[in-house]
């Protein structure tokens, strides 16, 4: 299969937190950029001679809206060649080589089982896309639990937007949980694993688990979820780093 790369134009940049930035990219040679919520794109960045060392993949944080523009949210990784280039060199009007959409990390065909969307860091991106899409198209769904783990309040991405979504969309629960927060935080504390274990509390009711974020979180979640008696086919994942 031939790789098709498109030239994207960066139309807008916005710092979401102290170390994450939102990038809006328009693909002029496409009338509309069609993708399924949860899919990703690959960028070819001029950071290495070997092409496979130039490629960086990012989940699409926006939902399909019929336009040819997408949003990515990217964290600046210490020593990360790709993110350092994107943060230091890319401005509004810059061009980026884009391939996609790619990936099978998408919503189930039938929305009959409860959905646990478990993420850390920028792993919230595909779940933001999914949740907005479900809301926009009034897709019937069982309870959806977005469990978002990070260290401190300053690390929360799309917090106000997710709270608003939870207030507007029946059956959508937004549960941010912080592992290193002081007493000013009144929400959930600790790690994501305690949240879904407590919610399921040995009931093993029908559920799908979508995991997106750091490898350590995903590995532990897989172990714990199968340990609760769920089948590995109930678990879908997208690895970061």
Q: pLDDT class for 51, splitting at 50, 70, 90?
A: confident
pLDDT single digits (tens) 188-206: 999 999 999 999 987 889 9
For residues 98 and 42, is the Cβ–Cβ distance under 8 A? Answer: yes
Average pLDDT, the chain: 94
Cβ–Cβ < 8 Å for 217, 120: yes
d(CA 63, CA 50): 32
Alpha-carbon torsion (142, 160, 27, 77), positive or negative: negative
In the block, residue with structure tokens 């990219």: 25
Percent helix, strand, coil in the chain, to 5, is 25, 35, 40
Tokens 């600046």 found at: 76
Q: Indicate the pLDDT class of residue 39, thresholds 50, 70 and 90.
A: very high
Fold matches, 6-102 and 114-240: no
In the DSSP assignment, the letter for residue 83 is: H
Between 3.40.50.1970, 3.40.50.2300, 3.30.300.30, 3.40.50.80, what CATH number should domain 114-240 receive?
A: 3.40.50.80
Q: At residue 240, does pLDDT exceed 80?
A: no
Instruction: Write down the pTM of the prediction.
Output: 0.95
Task: Give residue for tokens 């991106």.
Answer: 125
Superfamily the domain 6-102 falls into: Translation factors (2.40.30.10)
The pLDDT score that the predictor gives to residue 2 is 55
Q: Are strands 20-26 and 6-17 parallel, antiparallel or unpaired?
A: antiparallel
pLDDT in tens, 98-107: 999 999 999 9
The domain segmentation of the chain, as residue ranges, is: 6-102, 114-240
In terms of Cα–Cα distance, which of 193, 198, 188 is closest to 221? 193
Contact predicate 27/10, CB 8 Å: no
């Amino acid at each position: 299969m031939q790789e098709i790369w498109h030239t994207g134009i960066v139309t807008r940049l916005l710092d979401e937190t102290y170390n994450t930035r939102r990038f809006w990219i328009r693909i002029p040679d496409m009338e509309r950029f069609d993708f399924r919520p949860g899919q990703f794109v690959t960028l070819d960045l001029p950071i290495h001679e070997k092409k496979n060392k130039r490629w960086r993949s990012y989940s699409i944080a926006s939902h399909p809206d019929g336009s040819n523009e997408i949003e990515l949210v990217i964290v600046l990784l210490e020593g990360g060649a790709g993110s350092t280039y994107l943060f230091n060199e890319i401005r509004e009007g810059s061009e980026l080589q884009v391939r996609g959409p790619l990936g099978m990390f998408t919503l189930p065909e039938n929305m009959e089982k409860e959905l646990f969307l478990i993420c850390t860091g920028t792993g919230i991106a595909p779940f933001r896309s999914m949740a907005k899409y479900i809301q926009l198209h009034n897709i019937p769904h069982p309870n959806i639990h977005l469990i978002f783990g990070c260290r401190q309040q300053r690390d929360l991405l799309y917090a106000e937007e997710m709270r608003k979504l939870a207030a507007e969309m029946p059956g959508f629960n937004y549960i941010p949980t912080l592992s290193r927060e002081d007493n000013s935080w009144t929400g959930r504390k600790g790690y994501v694993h305690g949240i879904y274990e407590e919610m399921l509390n040995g009931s093993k009711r029908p559920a799908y688990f979508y995991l997106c974020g750091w490898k350590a979180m995903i590995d532990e979640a897989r172990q714990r979820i199968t340990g609760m008696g769920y089948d590995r086919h109930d678990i879908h994942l997208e690895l970061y780093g």
